[in-house]
Structure 1
Amino acid sequence: MYVPFENLPEESRVWIYQSNRKFSDVEIAEIENDLKAFLENWAAHGTSLEASYQLKYNRFIIIAVNQEVQAATGCSIDASVVFIQNLEKKYNVDLLDKMNVTFKQGEHIAHKPLLDFKKMVKEKSVTENTIVFNNLINNVQEFNESWEVPAMDSWHSRFF
């Protein structure tokens, strides 16, 4: 069951998928329709999941589930991964590779393999104050407070 993102409790579980390229506005509209349709029918053991999504910067797909109503289970999580894999095929993008880093360079959103990001740190092209997207967050509260943070305040800090 789809609900507005802002109606989810802060403890709601979150999954973040980052694209290796920016989606066009047409693609975003299509993805939004597909997400709503998927979330309307998403269930765990036959019980509808109270879920929502956000699309950010034409690059990130954020899916959230209110675990207080019904927890996402192995099969329902698998279904969401299959949904994301289908988006990867449909739009020829990479959404599941966790070995990439996305960060801000001014108003531009940059997406680099982890090794390239490490080189940029050594070259001082990015600093501890560079805004990074911490896709390891687990719930809505962390998403709201700790998703877009200076590198020094996330797991990226180990590279400085």
Structure 2
Amino acid sequence: MPLVNFETLPNEARAWVFAAAAPVTGAAAVALLAMVDDHLRAWRAHGAPLVCAREWRDDRFLVVAVDEAATGASGCSIDALFHALRAIEGQVGSSLVASGQLYWRDASGLVQVSDRPSFRAFAAAGRVAGDTSVFDTTITSVGAWRAGFERKAADSWHARFLVAS
């Protein structure tokens, strides 16, 4: 029983954030989470089950975490997670492991995605600003996920793309 409830993981647990390029909803989301849960139930490092959990939010963001105080994830086990997610992508119709994209909430509350040059252009055009909510997909711990996965752009590394006033 290595798969646990996400809320039970300590803040120090190691985390990986995966962001869907397009929203994953309805039956596709149910299938995604079922496949992820199947992988996590069987996830092992050097034969030892990993105490792990996942959380899904905003139809876009999957965080997978491991309590390394119980059993540490190995390079091979992490590679297996990425391989499993790549295999799932085709079944849910959205990439999950692509990198380099920025995610934020627009004025209507919808999650948007773009590359860095486009985000900078949106800032120059006033479509994103310091008070825009952004998502930090670079976080590496459950504590960071809880404390600041979504925050104002001015308070995140995204601020470097904003237009100085």
Tell whether the structures are fold-level matches, with TM greater than 0.5.
Answer: yes
Query: Structure 1, residues 65-110: CA drift from partner, whole Å, max 9, x if none?
Result: 0010011110000000001111122223222222111100132111
Give the counterpart letter for 1:41 in structure 2.
A
Please say which of residues 87-96 and 69-78 is displaced more in the overlay: 87-96
The aligned residue for residue 38 of structure 1 is 39
The answer on whether the counterparts of 2:36 and 2:85 sit within 8 Å (CA) in structure 1 is no
Percent of pairs with identical residues: 26
Residue 97 (structure 1) aligned with residue 98 (structure 2): yes
Query: Structure 1, residues 31-88: CA drift from partner, whole Å, max 9, x if none?
Result: 1111111111000001000000011111111101001001111000000000111112
The answer on whether the counterparts of 1:51 and 1:66 sit within 8 Å (CA) in structure 2 is yes
Unaligned runs of 5+ in 2: none
Instruction: State the distance in 1 between where 2:23 and 2:142 align.
Output: 23
Residue 143 (structure 1) aligned with residue 145 (structure 2): yes
Unaligned runs of 5+ in 1: none
Superposition misfits of 4+ residues, deviation over 3 angstroms: none
The aligned residue for residue 27 of structure 2 is 26
Give the counterpart letter for 1:84 in structure 2.
L
The aligned residue for residue 66 of structure 1 is 67
Please say which of residues 83-92 and 62-71 is displaced more in the overlay: 83-92
Question: 1:1-160 maps to which residues of 2 (within 5 A)?
Answer: 1-105=2-106, 106-160=108-162
The answer on whether the counterparts of 1:25 and 1:58 sit within 8 Å (CA) in structure 2 is no
The answer on whether the counterparts of 1:11 and 1:139 sit within 8 Å (CA) in structure 2 is yes
The answer on whether the counterparts of 2:54 and 2:65 sit within 8 Å (CA) in structure 1 is yes
Give how far 1:3 is off.
Answer: 0.2
Give the counterpart letter for 2:134 in structure 1.
V
Instruction: State the distance in 1 between where 2:48 and 2:132 align.
Output: 42
Instruction: State the distance in 1 between where 2:98 and 2:35 align.
Output: 21
Give the counterpart letter for 2:48 in structure 1.
T
Instruction: State the distance in 2 between where 1:114 and 1:18 align.
Output: 15
The answer on whether the counterparts of 2:3 and 2:41 sit within 8 Å (CA) in structure 1 is yes
Normalised by the size of structure 1, how large is the TM-score? 0.96
Give the counterpart letter for 2:152 in structure 1.
P
**How large is the Cα RMSD of the aligned pairs?**
1.0
SS where residue 110 of structure 1 aligns?
A: strand
Query: Structure 1, residues 102-156: CA drift from partner, whole Å, max 9, x if none?
Result: 1001321111122211100111110011000001111111000110000111110
Instruction: State the distance in 2 between where 1:111 and 1:10 align.
Output: 27
Aligned residue pair count: 160
